[in-house]
Amino acid sequence: MSQHHVIPFKTYMKVAAALVALTFLTVICHELHLGPLAGPVAFLIAAVKAALVLLYFMHLKYDNMQNRVIFGSGLIFLLLLIGFSALDIWTRVQSMSTL
Amino acid sequence: MGTAAHGSNSNVNYLNEFKGIKSWLLSLDHKRIGLMYMISILTFFFVGGIMALLIRYELFAPGKQLLSPDQYNQVMTYHGAMMVFMVIVPGIPAILGNFFLPLQIGAADVAFPKLNLASWYVFMFGAAIAISTFFSTKVDTGWTFYTPYSIKTGTAVVAMVLAAFVMGMSSILTGLNFIVTVHKLRAPGMTMFKVPLFVWAIYSTAILQVIATPVLAITLLLLAAERLFGVGVFDPALGGDPVLFQHFFWFYSHPAVYIMILPAMGIVSELISAFSHKVIFGYKAIAYSSLGIAAVSFIVWGHHMFVSGQSEIAGVLFSFLTMLVGVPTAIKMFNWLATLYRGSVTFYSPMLYALGFLFLFAIGGVTGIMLASMGVDVHFHDTYFVVAHFHYVMVGGTLMALMGGFYYWFPKMFGKMVDDRLARMTFVLIFIGFNVTFFPQFILGAMGMPRRYFDYIAPYESLNKISTMGSWLIASGFLLSLYAMIKALKSGEKAPSNPWGAKTLEWQTSSPPPHFNFDKKPTVTGGPYDY
């Protein structure tokens, strides 16, 4: 574990630049009108941005395994929430569904 | 518990070391913060209790008694919201957890004392917002804020959900504080399998508070956004899905049921061991079952939605998963019973409350398994059967344990003994009153009486009358408790350090404890229940 690991300023700037670039990419993708792919692509870009923030700004890349596992468990709960809710919506009788 | 430390012999303790209102409002002492929570939560309990009595009085006979239908809906909403968000969820962790978790692990305080005080202020701020709505357009949605009605009603829903959001924040901060405290501040020699089971229960609860509460916060913010900006997440008119709200809401609120009951189970473990004068049976099984309940509680929320339009496949899955909760819960029940077996059982008031818990929680739990079965739930879901089941778990479970905990730890908290004869009378009144109030509701539910309604038809009258009379018995039991405790504070016999002969660390220091709990840091050599 490198509790006192100091990330160089340069790295922070690179990550910030990547986040700005990905924001532009999101806008470009929106303009391209990707149809049914629009949502998944936007989510993918957002996930990459979130990962960059977690890894560098929140130091998860340099953290110990225990904290990574704790963070990972949070993701599992998120997957549970989305997974079960989606399962319900996808398996409803369509003629009776509000969606 | 084998220890090498004791409390102060002087008369200076956390209650009299500092004086003045400022010394309370700015105190970082976990014990004083616990007492501030106690005063606030008991006040909210009193108000929520009055509302319960109003509901029962209204249902004493068919037709209008006292409240109009709109007022009935409002009173029902505030009773539920106050009792859940302001009493039972914070109750045991914030009062007894705050007070006894550091004492039981031999720490001088919680890990982040300032954060602890901040939690109380955040909680009070949220409570103030909730109460303020009562003086504007009173909310009438029920405590669950179900869409689409909660989007359409012209009442102060946004302020009320903001209040729940803020109180949720307090809950997260408290949970975080407790997790770090358990990991970092245990006395030398106190391994995780030497901490008392109350600590295990509070620890499991804290994990739930930290993981589940943010989902409630997001859900409530989405609801506010829906009302203010018409986003269209939950409103079917805008392409949204009202059942999605129920998914999000119950993803928090079902684990919240366990946030309410797990600490109660922790208290019961302490009481049964202490008053059986016997090592707890299956310590590890009880500890792991707390974590097991916490884990399973996250994958059962769909059983609240069997009749909400949820898909059959999801319903079947949730039905099966819900049954799993019975396993770790039954492990606890059997271990408590096995602890009683051949123990030197004494029937002081805390033990009576613990035994009352076992009896009532068993009924609440078994009816829970009935309701987990989808085919049965379709018939019972919107009836009084569910009201009875829920109250058997929450009141019969959590409140019985909370009362047992109060009577058990009162001598430690205030240095005075409660008149146990009076305390036992309170148990009799509350226990009988509770059953008289809620058992008829199982029958009413089976007869088909719908819940949440202002009125009912004639065949339900006699059982409703019995139920209402039971509520008066419960109220008299709680009032007698208040009298017994005030009498003890004024003229109670001075409490020794360890009046019950218990083994956990809080009994090794003086009553009441000194400011930093122990004069010397305790060193632990044995288990918490080495009788």
Residue B421 pLDDT: 97
Flag if B215 and A81 touch (Cβ within 8 Å): yes
| CA geometry: angle B67, B69, B75, nearest 5 deg | 60
In the predicted model, residues of chain B with pLDDT beneath 50 are: 4-5
Residue A97 pLDDT: 57
Residue A2 pLDDT: 46
Q: Is residue B402 part of a domain?
A: yes
Residue A95 pLDDT: 63
Flag if A97 and B309 touch (Cβ within 8 Å): yes
Nearest to B241 among A84, A93, A98 (CB): A98
Residue B470 pLDDT: 97
Shortest Cα distance from B244 to chain A (angstroms)?
7
Is A86 part of the contact surface with chain B (CB cutoff 8 Å)? no
CATH code at B463? 1.20.210.10
Tally of CB atoms within 10 A around B36: 21
Q: Is residue B247 part of a domain?
A: yes
Nearest to B251 among A81, A90, A92 (CB): A81
Q: Is residue B11 part of a domain?
A: no
Q: How many domains, chain B?
A: 1
Shortest Cα distance from A12 to chain B (angstroms)?
28
Q: Is residue B524 part of a domain?
A: no
Does residue B293 contact residue B204 with C-beta atoms inside 8 Å? Answer: yes
Q: Which domain holds residue B200?
A: 21-508
B446 backbone φψ class: left, alpha, beta (φ>0; ψ -120 to 50):
alpha
pLDDT above 80: residue A59: yes
CA–CA gap between residue B383 and residue B245 (Å, rounded) = 22
Nearest to B143 by CA among B257, B4, B278, B239: B257
Residue A99 pLDDT: 52
Q: Is residue B518 part of a domain?
A: no
Flag if A91 and B313 touch (Cβ within 8 Å): yes
Is A69 part of the contact surface with chain B (CB cutoff 8 Å)? no
Q: Is residue B9 part of a domain?
A: no
Is A88 part of the contact surface with chain B (CB cutoff 8 Å)? yes
Q: What is the ipTM of this complex?
A: 0.82
Q: Which chain B residues contact residue A98 at CB under 8 A?
A: 236, 241-243, 309
Flag if B312 and A88 touch (Cβ within 8 Å): no
Q: Is residue B8 part of a domain?
A: no
DSSP letters along B450-512, please? BTT-S---GGGHHHHHHHHHHHHHHHHHHHHHHHHHHHHHHHPPBP-S-TT---SGGGGS-SS
Q: Which chain A residues contact residue B247 at CB under 8 A?
A: 81, 84-85, 88
Q: Is residue B105 part of a domain?
A: yes
A-contacting residues of B 395-454, CB under 8 Å?
none
Q: In the structure, what pLDDT confidence band is assigned to residue A1 with cuts at 50, 70 and 90? A: very low
